[in-house]
Structure 1
Amino acid sequence: MSHSLIDILSRADVLEFIQTHLNDDPVALVLQSKKIPDLPIREIAAQIQSRKKAQLKLPEWFANQEIIFPHGVSMEQCSSEETAKYKASLVEGKSLADLTGGFGIDLFYLSRQFKKANYIERSEELVALAKHNFGQLGKDNVSFFNQTAEEYLAEEKEPASLYFIDPARRDESNQKVFQIEDCTPDLNLIVPMLLERKAEVLIKLSPLLDIHLALEVLPNVKEVHIVSVKNDCKELLFRIVPNYSGPVNRIAANLTKDEMDVFEFSEAQENESPVFSQPLNFLYEPNASIMKAGGFNAVSNAYSVNKLHRNSHLYTSEKFVEDFPGRSFRIIDQTVLNKKKLKPFLPQGKANITVRNYPMTVKEIRKKTGINEGGEIYLFATTLMDGSLTVLVCKKVRS
């Protein structure tokens, strides 16, 4: 976003128009642009569209009427307020360098933990936007550099305490990429340069990335944080510490409106065998972060819940486990996938269906049984420890 466009969008009449029409359809506004020749309606419509996304994703920034938001990829890929604050809770120190500044959400919250911070970004438009927004938010401990990460590091005079990297995960055709070697900047080149500076490194990567493969590529990783928001896995954070060569701890964090479920485990804990059993009184499904982290045995042992099958990743117990990190259900009955046998439990013909280690998809089950989505009953189609297929009829105890 150019300086001139930032100046235009910062005008009092433009800001007032945006607030007045915040709930209008941006497309409809563009179609009416000829009726309002004195205002840049297309740019205003883009701001309204981005502000609507920011209302839930970035409430603190949304509340400031003078903040200007990007649109397109920069708005889609930026961290949410919750995940940015989570990163900030992990670190502190004298100085911070964000080598991939972008829209600046992560740096804004991370910089609260440091005396000074440097924002490095190769896009001149994003640098201008970040300068404007940080000024509006009263952030005065950040310096701005319009350079690539490589250019900045080649000229850096004093190493930072922490380097943050959120590499671009799109190729030259703007298609998403998920492998480390496809990201920009090249972590295989950058990370060794940072370790030579004896600094810690925090890297944000796609939740679709294979954690095992990443650990084979990234050196000196001490922690992997798997971060979800309301059970939707959002990002992976790799914390690299100079000269560290010990075991990698995995921290599965699920952020909700009112609380944060955090489950930490080591590879040694995951290698400990769990207890298996047939379904008991209660059923548990781990949250998305634990599932992505691969803490299937560790969570079973930590909370004294039994696994139903090695590959089902569903758990059961005689007595209710209040603090299990995930969804909890009371098991009403155990049956098979048969329309007549399921009918007595579904007077409205509705159920929420989950498939775990079962040879049919949810769509196929609905087609076979005619069960519609919704209602208070939850059906778990899964495989038990003896290899038998079953359907567990449940009611939710806790989300």
Structure 2
Amino acid sequence: MLDHLNDDPALLLLRHQGKTDFDLKAAVQQISARQKAKKKLPEWISNQEIIFPPTLNLEQSSSQATAEFKARGQSGGKFIDLTGGFGVDCYYLGRKFKSAVYCEVNEELAEITSHNLNKLAPEHFEVFTGNGLEYLEQSDETFDLIYLDPARRGHANQKLYKLSDCEPDLVSHWDLIKSKASKVLIKASPMLDISKAWVEIPDIQKVTIVSVKNEVKEVLLEADLTGKKSMEVLAVDLGESESSFSFRPKDEENSKVEFGEASNLLFEPLAAILKAGAFKVFGSRYSLKKLEPNSHFFTSGAIPENIPARVFEVLGEIKPSKSVLKKLFPEGKVNIIARNYSIGPEAFKKKFRLKDGGIDYLIATKTLSGFKVFHCRRIK
């Protein structure tokens, strides 16, 4: 199998159908899974004994980078993952504790993960095939960390965002969960409304938004039940160089924002910061002016040190017409960012017959004086 890791799975299936003395379909599925997980799980890919699950379970699992991030600073005696899945988070978190329990209701997935955990960390993990909450209810033990990644798909395969809608329903089972834990860590939907999560589970003290290369991947909710701590929001990007921004909800409430028209530089906070809702405190902390209350672009004449944002040099403001854009971009290639504008980026590209590409950007947004389009270049 390893000799064909770079081959096209569909061609392999076609070429060798009926010519093997082993399950060709299963072998090709493993090759396909390894190809898809090459960047997501490099440590697991390098281990020839690891078995990969069906595509959906692989897609829903955490990446190695986000799992390792979750494991930072974690330690203690006992750990339990109540919704183990493919076991990526369980493995990286569980290694930080003296003992670890993996729970998974899907028998086939539990069997695959049990095999993998035994290969990766022999005799370190106890595997329970069944409902993790039932295990917790029947156990006399308390755990230093309980981890949950509830299923976010409904019976009709619709996406679910509220904690109470997911499976298991953490809200209705919260009293049981917190009675057995010193700390609880929850992986929630990237689309979660953070303010509503705090209402659903008031014990949450810390919310961490994790993005990878400026794409939000996870929202983590942490409740330390050993003592009341102040509420904190942390936005982290695990790109080529890690960036972070932390604040307290009351910091956002109390921050005063200044507004102004675009200067020679525009700043777009990283996606995790925008998801965190740091719309005023970001500008205040870096002494930036905001273009308009709902635009979430900031401006200044200088670049603050280590600012967690994409920085653009403004080459000029342009009139969005086909003739102007054709003259500026004869090949029709320019990167479009449209936020709080009359039309979205796809509609903008369609209207003016443009496609993404090149080194130039058009930032279409609204300032206090109206809708504007700025011709920019990224400063790295």
TM-score by length of 1: 0.90
Q: Alpha-carbon deviation of 1:244?
A: 5.4
1:45, 1:198 → 2: CA distance?
Answer: 42
Q: Alpha-carbon deviation of 1:88?
A: 0.3
Q: Alpha-carbon deviation of 1:315?
A: 0.8
What do residues 180-203 of structure 1 show as CA deviations (whole Å, max 9, x unaligned)?
Answer: 222111202332112223521000
**Residue 377, structure 1, aligned to residue 330, structure 2:** no
User: CA 1:123–1:377 in structure 2 vs 1: closer, same or farther (change >3 Å)?
Assistant: same
Partner of 2:282: 299
Give the AA of the match of 2:108: E
**Residue 62, structure 1, aligned to residue 48, structure 2:** no
Partner of 2:147: 164
Give the AA of the match of 2:117: F
Partner of 1:72: 55
Q: Alpha-carbon deviation of 1:90?
A: 4.4
Give the AA of the match of 1:28: L
- State the aligned residue count: 379
Give the AA of the match of 1:225: T
2:75, 2:237 → 1: CA distance?
Answer: 22
Partner of 1:14: none
The residue matched to 2:185 in structure 1 has which SS?
A: strand
Partner of 1:192: 175
1:311, 1:33 → 2: CA distance?
Answer: 57
1:231, 1:27 → 2: CA distance?
Answer: 33
CA contact (8 A) 1:220 1:244 kept: no
What do residues 237-277 of structure 1 show as CA deviations (whole Å, max 9, x unaligned)?
Answer: 00012275554211111111x32111101112112121211
Partner of 1:7: none
Partner of 2:375: 393
What do residues 310-338 of structure 1 show as CA deviations (whole Å, max 9, x unaligned)?
Answer: 11000111112242212111111123323
**Residue 268, structure 1, aligned to residue 250, structure 2:** yes
- Where structure 1 has 5 or more consecutive residues not aligned to the other structure, the ranges are 1-17
Give the AA of the match of 2:318: T
Partner of 1:330: 313
Q: Which has the higher helix share?
A: 1
Q: Which residue, 164, 167, 178 being the options, matches 2:161?
A: 178
1:206, 1:97 → 2: CA distance?
Answer: 20
Partner of 2:238: 255
Partner of 1:91: 74
Partner of 1:242: 225
**Residue 119, structure 1, aligned to residue 107, structure 2:** no
User: CA 1:72–1:176 in structure 2 vs 1: closer, same or farther (change >3 Å)?
Assistant: farther
CA contact (8 A) 2:161 2:191 kept: yes
CA contact (8 A) 2:164 2:172 kept: no
Partner of 1:359: 342
CA contact (8 A) 1:226 1:289 kept: yes
Give the AA of the match of 1:274: V
The residue matched to 1:70 in structure 2 has which SS?
A: coil
TM-score by length of 2: 0.94
1:34, 1:360 → 2: CA distance?
Answer: 50
Partner of 2:128: 145
